[in-house]
Amino acid sequence: MNSSHPLHLLLNPSSIAIVGANNNPMKMGTMHALSILKDGFAGKLYPVHPKEKTVLGMEAFTSVESLPAAPDLAILVVPSSEIIKLVEEFGKKGTRRVIIITAGFRETGSAGRAEEERLQSVAARYGIRFLGPNCMGIINTDISLNTTVVTLNMKDGRLGMVSQSGTYVSQTLPYLVKHGIRFSKAISVGNSTDISLIDALEYLGDDESTKAISLYIEGLSEPKRFLEVARSIVSRKPIVAQYVGGSKAGARAGLSHTGALAAPDHLYDGLFKQAGVIRVDSVEDLFGHGWMLATQPRLKGKRVAVLTNSGGPGSSMAHTCEQNGFEVVEFSESLKKKIEPLVPPHAPCGNPVDITFSMDVEVLSKKIPEIVMQSGEVDAVVLHGTMRSGFIKIIYPHLVDMLNGTPLETILDMLKIDFEKSASLPHIYGIPMAISSFFDFEDDFTAAYHSHDVPVYDSPEKAARALSALLKYHTILQRLKDAPDESPLQKNDEAERILHDAKRAGQRVLDEYQSKRLLAAYGLPVSKEMLIQNESELAEAVAALGFPVVLKACSSDIPHKTGKGLIYLRLNSMDECREAFKNIRKSAESDVPVLVSAMARGEREFMAGFLRHELFGEVVSFGLGGIFAETIGDTTFRLAPLSVNDAKHMMCDIRHAGLLGEVRGLPAVDEASLMHIIRSLGAIGMHHHAVREIDINPVLVEGSRPVIVDALVVLN
C-alpha cells in the first residue's frame, strides 16, 4: 500500500470534521454524519455548526478555528457559496484532506467552472487534496468508514469501486447486500476537480484488500494516463468498466451531471481493449462481473461443466457459455460412470449434467461438483438449482395439512444440510464456480454461497455471462504474457522534409504522391508509381511500370477523387492511357499532374488511419476497407504509440478478421507487414505534429503482401 498517495489519508483518517450536519434527520449533512457515527468508524468525529451546541449527541464547534485539533479529513455539505471559504479555513487549521459533497460547480456552466478553478487554486495553496465536488464520498470497509447517506451493512469486501456517480456507491448498498457483493473500498469522485478517477484507480491497484476493480465512467480527461495506469494494474488484478458517454444523450447527461467530457464510443472501446479493461454495458454487470473476478480462482482454460436440476436452465447456461467462448466439453466415459449412480436413470450426465427434479440437494450442490472438479476435465463450473429453505417455504402451504400442521421451522430442522463443503468447493480445488438460483439470500443455500464469496445470479444466463468475465481476463493475461520485446519506431528525417516543404508551400493536405512518399519513408509498402506533368511523359511511365496501369489526378487541391472522373483503372494500352490522361485534365479543368501507378491485384481490401483527437491525442485505426468501409463500419481504434502486441490485437479485433487468414484459396496475409503499417501510422503521428490525419484506403492484399493503393495526409 502506498501511504504517500493522496487517497491513503483520505480513506484512513483518525479524525473527521463535518460541516453541514445538524439535528434534522432529513438534512443531507445529517445523513452523512449518521453514517460515519453509526456504521462503526472508530475515530473522532467533530460536527461544525455555527448555532447548535450539540449535533447527534456530540459536542458541536461553532467554527473551524474552534476545533480542538486539525482533523485528518473534513467533509463539507453546505451551499456551494460557502465551500471556498471553508476550504481556506481548514487549510489554515492544518487539515490536508477534504471531501466536498456539495454540487453546483462546473456542471452548471461557465460561472460554476470559474468557481471550481478558484476552489482548486485555494486548495493547492494549502496543500489540500480533495475529492469532489459533487460526490458522495467514500467507503472503506477495512475501518468501517462510510461517508455516504445509506447504511453500510458489509465488512471485509473484495471489490473496489470508483464511480463518477454518487448513487452507485450509496443507493446501491442494499442491492449489493442482497447479492452478497461487498466493497473493499468505494470512491465517488464527482467532478474529479483534484483527485480523479484515475488517481482512485491507481490507489486501488495497490490496495491489498481489493481483488478486482469496477469503474463507472462518464468521461476521462486523461485517456493516455488511464491507459498507462490501467495497464500497470491488469497483470495483477482485473478491471471492469462501464462507459456511458458514447451516445449523444449519454454525453449530454454526463456533462450536466459531473461536467465530464465525453468522446465517441469507439474510442473508449479501443482504449479499454488496449488497456486490458473488461467492458460491460450495465451497472448490474459492473457489480456482478466485478464480484466474480474479485472472488473466484483464476481460470486455467476454457472447459466448463454445466450442472443443473432442470433442462431449461442447463440448456441456457450451456448455450451462453459457448457463445462467450467456453467449451462445454463432453465428459470422459470414466467420469460419466462416476456420475451415473447419482442421477436418475436416463438422465444426461455427459455435460450438461441434469439430475432432473431430485430432492437430494447434496448430489447437486456437493457430490457431483466435487467429482467433476477432481476429474481434471474442467476449468470452471456453472450450476443451477441448489435450494433448500426458500423452496420449502414456498411449497409449505400446500403440504401443511399432509404434515399434520408440523411447523415450518421443525421441517427445516429435520432437513438440515452441511453447507460448508458445498460453498467451499471453488476455493478447495481452485476452480471457479458461478451459481444460478431463482431464490435470493433468504434461501440458506444462497446465503451460504454469499458467506463463502461464491457469486449467485438470479438467472442462468447471468451466471454464465459473469463466468465469462473470468475467461476474458484469462485471455488478457495470456496476451500480456505473450507480448514480445520491441523497440519504438524512430523518427524519419525524409518524412520531416516532405512535411516541411508542404507547409512552406502553404498546403493543408499532401497530394497522393507526397502522402505515399511520406509513408514509404517509414518503410510502408506503397504501390509502384510515377508522377507526370504532361502527356509526353506518359509513355516512359507506362513502359517503366508495365500494363495494366491506373491514372489519377494528383493535386493537394483535389484530396478526394472518387466519382469525379479523375481516376481510370485497368488501362491496358497506350491509346486507353492517352484518352484517360486527356479526360482527367478535362474533368479537373486544369493542367493537373497525373499519377501513373501499376495496377495492384487483390481480392481483400483493408484500411488504416491516424487522427489527432482533441481529448485522446494520437489515435490509430484499422478495419475493413474499400468503397463500403464506411457502410460496413468494421473498424477498431487504439492510442499511439502502439506495441507489436497492440497492432496484432487490432488485426484480430475486427469482425472480419478471418479475411486475414487463409481463405478461398488465398494465402494468409503477411502479418508482420500489416502490423508494421499499423504501428508506423502511430509513430508518424507521434513524431510529426504537423500531421493531423492519415487515411489509407485501400490497403490491397496482393497474394499475401499488403500494398497501400491510396493515401491522404491532412496537415494541422
pLDDT of the residue at 262: 66
pLDDT of the residue at 265: 93
- Amino acid, res. 149: V
Superfamily of domain 296-481: Succinyl-CoA synthetase domains (3.40.50.261)
pLDDT of the residue at 563: 67
Report the C-alpha gap between 262 and 298 in whole angstroms.
Answer: 33
* Nearest C-alpha neighbor of 691 from the set 637, 617, 635: 617
pLDDT of the residue at 407: 81
Q: What share of the chain is helix, strand, coil (3-state, %, to 5)?
A: 40, 20, 40
- Strand ranges (DSSP E) for 20-67? 44-48, 54-55, 58-59
Superfamily of domain 604-715: ATP-grasp fold, B domain (3.30.470.20)
CB contact set of 232 (below 8 Å; sequence gap of 6+): 205
Fold classification of 528-599 (topology level)? Dna Ligase; domain 1 (3.30.1490)
The low-confidence residues of the chain, meaning pLDDT below 70, are 1, 246-262, 563
pLDDT of the residue at 599: 94
CATH placement of domain 6-293: 3.40.50.261
pLDDT of the residue at 249: 61
- Amino acid, res. 245: G
CATH 3.30.470.20 residue window(s) in the chain: 604-715
CB 157 within 8 A of CB 164: no
Helices (H), 640-670: 644-653
Lookup: cell for 696? 489509407
* Nearest C-alpha neighbor of 62 from the set 54, 73, 51, 71: 51
Rg of the chain on CA atoms, in Å: 32
pLDDT of the residue at 487: 79
CB contact set of 254 (below 8 Å; sequence gap of 6+): 164, 218, 219, 244, 245, 260, 262
CATH 3.40.50.261 residue window(s) in the chain: 6-293, 296-481
pLDDT of the residue at 432: 98
pLDDT of the residue at 258: 54
pLDDT of the residue at 714: 96
Residue 420 CB coordination number (10 Å): 11
Distances (CA, A) of 600 to 555, 574, 703: 21, 18, 10
Helices (H), 376-418: 389-399, 408-414
